[in-house]
Chain A
Amino acid sequence: MSDPGEERDPGNEGGVGKDGVHGQRPGREAQIGKGLPGRGGRRRKGRGEKAMVPEAEFTSYYGLPILNPPVWRSYDVAGYFFLGGLAGAGSVLAAGAQLTGRPAAARALKVSSLLAIGGSTAALIHDLGRPARFVNMLRVMKPTSPMSMGSWLLAAYGPAVGAAAVLDVTGLFPRLGGAATAGAAALGPAVAAYTAALAADTAVPAWHDVHRELPMVFVGSAAAAASGMALITAPARETAPMRSAAVLGTALELAAAKLMERRAGLVAEPYKEGKAGRFVRAGEFLSAAGAAGGVLLGGRSRAAAALSGAALLAGSACTRFGVFHAGIQSARDPKYTVVPQRERLASGVPDGG
């Protein structure tokens, strides 16, 4: 132990010995490198330049993601997106079919919408960490939470679509059934579209940054899926409008997806790569094949209609799984978080809403 009388380092003019604390204690502020000779300009510059050499186009903390990726299970949530779309667009088609004298198609679509919304609600509850607390979804009503608005939407839409299906099948209370059919048709498009808002209202780059186009992709995909369901379940003499709707929906979905890829820049990458890329490409192919098959052959051959319908349904499901996985992939790679934010800072323009 050093003698307390010894000369001390000027940076630490105090000490603690057996006889207690003595001398002056340093201030609480750390003085990094203070009092040390400054470096020669030459050497410092050399170091600085070396550190400046970019090793990659962005830096990260050991390559770890910045975001915590969604913990949602793909079958539950992508399935929920798909089934919600199928139900919502199906209710609109059902109402249209009923109004234009296509009762078999109307009935089939009402039943399929009921089953789809039942399945999507089950998927949503299954995905909860605490399924028994599902009713807490209706504890508040928050416009800032698309999931809250969606829960209330389902709470209104579910009974309507249920009543429409049950009253149609049983033939009871036709007026009430008509009202329920109309109600379900009014709420259906919101059910099909809000899931895009749900995905977009997150920090996940591949979802948030495409919030302008994603709802169009979703409603297009929903129309294609519901039309496909009609092609499978309804007689060919009643499905002419659904065959057109399949073409319309597929065209809308593909056009919006192309626009999305063009506008999103770097963040469009996950939609082309890996699992997401495979789902997106399969979705495009199946939707296009289903729509073409339906419109060319669906009116003539029952088998061709069913096959086209199945392709449309599978295409819509693939699109939803593709979007889901693109989001997961973009959240897992810090590149998609850092690079767009860096570009935004460099441009000095805050990203427009």
Chain B
Amino acid sequence: MSSLVGRNLLAGAEPDVTANAGYTDPPPRMGFFTDTSVCIGCKACEVACKEWNAIPEDGLEFTGMSYDNTQGLGADTWRHVAFIEQDKPMGNAEAGVDHRGGPGDGAADMRWLMASDVCKHCTHAACLDVCPTGSLFRTEFGTVVVQEDICNGCGYCIPACPYGVIDQRKGDGRAWKCTMCYDRIGVGQEPACAKACPTDSIQYGPLDELRERAALRVEQLHEIGVEDARLYGHDPDDGVGGDGAFFLLLDEPEVYGLPPDPVVTTRDLPSIWKHAGVAAATLLGGLAAVFTVHGRNGGRR
């Protein structure tokens, strides 16, 4: 373990996240690389996740948002497939259909972006940092997991997450999120979503290896004309120290409902505590000054 003393442990690149969480000789940090360019929107990941983790049904709604009736990640949705329909071509692909003269502006091209979102298992995980019970913890694989037998449902992790991942389960009261199938990966199995993904859009493996593979994939897509391809959450120098689950996207992150520049809230914790401390001192000093000025009661009689 590299020394924990004299370093900023709240933000920045953190190459040794599992060892620094106290594990001696941990396995390599594991992660997801979700390559949205090959996602076909089958939602097998959503189903496999629900089945494996025995997640309850959480509403059967029709949203009208393309094929997305799931809407977002939450206590009962640990994989969420986003669908975005756009009037623009994918790389050099031709739709081969001429809609000129048709309704709308007669757009002849469309692309259908699909992306399976998941907990990012941040290097600097705000949910874990703010959890007052120690229910959220870092596993030996570098992932972030809730211990449901400890969580008391305080809800602090929910607004702390910069991605809107973790949420409180209605009727249960506790906070739930993706565990990266801690039970499966512990015995050498890949997580249910990655296992079920028919196109390998969801890839599971050692994070270092996934990052290399992702860089090659972006290069390849750029070469064949998909200039929009970019990685998201891969950079260890970003606001959360890099994600354990990162993505290849074909548009800006916010198009998929992802924050463009997430920052772990505890990066500013020293400043937060400092300002709270100054305020507390101001209250004590101010009120002491008031009593000093007024003096003893009846003293002026």
Q: Which residues of A contact B (CB under 8 A)?
A: 28-34, 36-39, 47, 50-51, 58-62, 64-72, 88-89, 92-93, 96-97, 99-102, 127-131, 133-134, 136-137, 139-140, 142-148, 151, 185-186, 188-190, 192-194, 196-198, 200-204, 207-208, 211-216, 218-219, 222-223, 237-238, 240-241, 244-245, 248-249, 252, 327, 331, 334, 337-338, 341-342, 344-345, 350-351, 353
Most buried by A among B82, B126, B284: B284
**B38 contacts which chain A residues (CB < 8 A)?**
30
Q: Are A201 and B254 in contact (CB under 8 A)?
A: no
| C-alpha gap A136/B271 in the complex (Å) | 27
- Give the Cβ gap from A69 to chain B, nearest Cβ, in Å: 7
List B residues 45-93 near A (Cβ within 8 Å): 63, 65, 68, 71-74, 82, 84, 86-93
Q: Are A338 and B226 in contact (CB under 8 A)?
A: no
Residue B269, interface by CB 8 Å: yes
Q: Are A337 and B129 in contact (CB under 8 A)?
A: no
**A238 contacts which chain B residues (CB < 8 A)?**
297
Which residue of B217, B254, B265, B294 is within 8 Å of A100 (Cβ)? B294
| C-alpha gap A327/B278 in the complex (Å) | 23
| C-alpha gap A211/B88 in the complex (Å) | 42
Q: Are B296 and A100 in contact (CB under 8 A)?
A: yes
**A65 contacts which chain B residues (CB < 8 A)?**
164
Q: Are B273 and A197 in contact (CB under 8 A)?
A: yes
**A188 contacts which chain B residues (CB < 8 A)?**
283-284
- Cβ proximity bits B199-227 to A, threshold 8 Å, 1 near / 0 not: 11000000000000000010011001110
| C-alpha gap A301/B135 in the complex (Å) | 54
Residue B261, interface by CB 8 Å: yes
Residue B192, interface by CB 8 Å: no
Residue B173, interface by CB 8 Å: yes
Which residue of A92, A216, A351 is within 8 Å of B279 (Cβ)? A216
Q: Are A146 and B133 in contact (CB under 8 A)?
A: no
Which residue of B90, B158, B290 is within 8 Å of A70 (Cβ)? B158
The 4 nearest A-B residue pairs measured at CB:
A129-B153, A129-B173, A61-B257, A215-B279
Q: Are B84 and A92 in contact (CB under 8 A)?
A: no
Q: Are B158 and A33 in contact (CB under 8 A)?
A: no
| C-alpha gap A347/B126 in the complex (Å) | 25
The chain B residue sitting closest to A210, CB to CB, is B275
13 A-B pairs with C-beta separation under 8 A: A29-B220, A68-B74, A68-B165, A68-B166, A70-B155, A130-B152, A144-B129, A198-B156, A202-B160, A208-B265, A219-B280, A241-B293, A342-B260
| C-alpha gap A194/B164 in the complex (Å) | 24
The chain B residue sitting closest to A28, CB to CB, is B200
Which residue of A28, A129, A212 is within 8 Å of B271 (Cβ)? A212
The chain B residue sitting closest to A248, CB to CB, is B286
Residue B162, interface by CB 8 Å: yes
Q: Are A203 and B269 in contact (CB under 8 A)?
A: no
Which residue of B130, B158, B269, B287 is within 8 Å of A223 (Cβ)? B287
Q: Are A145 and B130 in contact (CB under 8 A)?
A: yes
- Give the Cβ gap from B72 to chain A, nearest Cβ, in Å: 6
Q: Are B297 and A130 in contact (CB under 8 A)?
A: no
| C-alpha gap A47/B175 in the complex (Å) | 45
Q: Are A201 and B252 in contact (CB under 8 A)?
A: no
Q: Are A189 and B283 in contact (CB under 8 A)?
A: yes
The chain B residue sitting closest to A240, CB to CB, is B294
Residue B1, interface by CB 8 Å: no
Residue B22, interface by CB 8 Å: no
Given contacts A71-B155, A203-B159, A203-B265, contact A252 B282 (CB under 8 A): yes
Residue B163, interface by CB 8 Å: yes
**A237 contacts which chain B residues (CB < 8 A)?**
297
Q: Are B284 and A189 in contact (CB under 8 A)?
A: yes
Which residue of A36, A61, A148, A331 is within 8 Å of B93 (Cβ)? A36
Q: Are B290 and A96 in contact (CB under 8 A)?
A: yes
- Cβ proximity bits B241-256 to A, threshold 8 Å, 1 near / 0 not: 0000000000010111
**B42 contacts which chain A residues (CB < 8 A)?**
none
Q: Are A203 and B71 in contact (CB under 8 A)?
A: no
The chain B residue sitting closest to A226, CB to CB, is B287
Given contacts A68-B167, A203-B161, contact A241 B291 (CB under 8 A): yes
Given contacts A144-B266, A244-B294, contact A61 B159 (CB under 8 A): no
7 extra interface residue pairs, beta carbon distance < 8 Å, beyond A129-B173, A245-B286: A62-B65, A93-B287, A129-B154, A198-B156, A208-B268, A211-B275, A216-B279
| C-alpha gap A142/B273 in the complex (Å) | 13
